[in-house]
Amino acid sequence: MGTAHTVAVFGAYGHTGRFVVAQLRDRGFVPVASGRDLDKLRALAASEPGLDIRPASVDDPASLDRALAGAAAVINCAGPFAVTAAPVIEAALRAGIPYVDVAAEIEANLDTFTHFADRARAAGAVIVPAMAFYGGLGDLLATAAMGDWTTADEAHIAYGLDGWHPTAGTRAAGDVSRSRRGGRRVRYAGGRLEYRDDAAPTEKWAFPDPMGTRTVIGEFTMADVVTIPSHLSVPEVRTYMTTEAARDLAAPDTPAPAAVDESGRSAQTFLVDVVVRSNGTERRAVASGQDIYAVTAPLAVEAVHRILTGRTRTVGVASAGAIFDAPDFLGALSDRISVELPR
């Protein structure tokens, strides 16, 4: 399916990057591993025979150009994306190739839409930020749930994680985001982002069985508040997180994910429950699976596959739900994600 297509992976030796490299190979693409740490690239190549490695740094445009030379697309897995997204996007625009990233950082995704929308549209380029568990999956589910609705009153995305062992990259990206917003929290209400100093509310969320009702942090805001409003007319977008996962993320001593199978996945399970409401009517879409980092790889690689085969709906900077057929896209991931959509 990806025969003869070379795809550069920036941040290939990171936790998510390794999953992406493996997924590209499984799909028949030829991955090129890039990043600033040559020793880590060499270690990755030792475990992936025949892997082409090309060191590059975001503060060295020429090195990025060399890393992307001959590639059909680039997937950026290197956070914090507040630092890496813009330089890698610029390199992709110079190379004339599509750009996909897995950014969960709200501010970094906003920057991508703000700074590159006009240029990318004018160039006919494709830039898909947040093509990951956070931002991408929720957007696809919300878009599928909307169906033939052109507007909705509200969208709710509840993350039912049984726990969360964050990677070093997740922690670093979170630190950058908190710094950029001065320690405040953020929510999307009334058609805009609001920055608040009060504590996020705690409430109950009735997840589908077998998870059932759980205590969640309300307004535990993720990248969905950027991706969903970028193309859907929904003035209220709220995201929620199970308290167990929120506590794990906040604790400084929570260990990184540990592999429990040959693919490198952790034992973590997830259930994403999306509810959209309009004029008193409710529609629901649900996805479940294992390991939020591992499942990001098929999301990003499927996106690249569809871009390169012309299965897209627009150009420019676009979220997953805007550029792809959401139900069809989710169906293509049935071996990794179980999905229930409105009939």
231-288 residue pLDDT tens:
999 999 999 999 999 999 999 999 999 999 999 999 999 999 999 999 999 999 999 9
Nearest to 222 by CA among 62, 343, 341, 104: 104
Instruction: Estimate the crossing angle of helix 15-26 against helix 168-180, to 10 degrees.
Output: 120
Confidence check: pLDDT of 178 > 50 = yes
pTM above 0.85, yes or no: yes
Reduced DSSP (H G I as helix, E B as strand, rest coil) percent helix, strand, coil of the chain, to 5: 40, 25, 35
Nearest to 284 by CA among 142, 99, 82: 142
Confidence check: pLDDT of 1 > 60 = no
Strands 126-128 and 316-317, bridge-based pairing: parallel
Confidence check: pLDDT of 2 > 70 = no
Phi, psi (deg, nearest 5) at residue 164: -145, 105
DSSP H helical segments within the chain, as ranges? 15-26, 38-47, 61-68, 81-95, 106-123, 138-146, 168-180, 224-227, 243-250, 292-308, 320-323, 326-332
Q: Indicate the pLDDT class of residue 4, thresholds 50, 70 and 90.
A: low
Q: Residues with Cβ < 8 Å from 91, sequence gap 6 or more?
A: 61, 64, 65, 67, 68, 74
- Residue 343 is predicted with a pLDDT of 78
Say how far apart CA 101 and CA 88 lie, in whole Å: 10
In the numeric block, which tokens belong to residue 221? 């805001």
Mean pLDDT of 50-65: 98
Other beta carbons less than 10 A from residue 325's beta carbon: 17
Nearest to 223 by CA among 315, 133, 127: 133
Q: Which residue has the higher pLDDT, 160 or 1?
A: 160
Confidence check: pLDDT of 69 > 80 = yes
Over residues 152-171, the pLDDT tens digits come to: 999 999 999 999 999 999 99
**CA distance readout (Å), 123 to 109, 117, 118, 316:** 20, 10, 9, 8
Confidence check: pLDDT of 230 > 60 = yes
**CA distance readout (Å), 217 to 64, 139, 159, 242:** 40, 20, 10, 6
Over residues 111-130, the pLDDT tens digits come to: 999 999 999 999 999 999 99
Percent of the chain with pLDDT strictly greater than 70: 99
Nearest 5°: CA angle at 277, between 275 and 283?
A: 50
In the numeric block, which tokens belong to residue 121? 């549209």
DSSP helix/strand/coil, 217: strand
Q: Is the peptide bond before 229 cis (omega within 30 degrees of 0)?
A: no
Confidence check: pLDDT of 315 > 60 = yes
Nearest to 159 by CA among 207, 191, 198, 110: 207
Over residues 280-312, the pLDDT tens digits come to: 999 999 999 999 999 999 999 999 999 999 999
Let me know if 149 is exposed, middle or buried by CB neighbors in 10 A (0-12, 13-18, 19+). Answer: middle
Mean per-residue pLDDT of the chain: 97
In the numeric block, which tokens belong to residue 249? 């993320």
Tell me the residue type at 91.
A
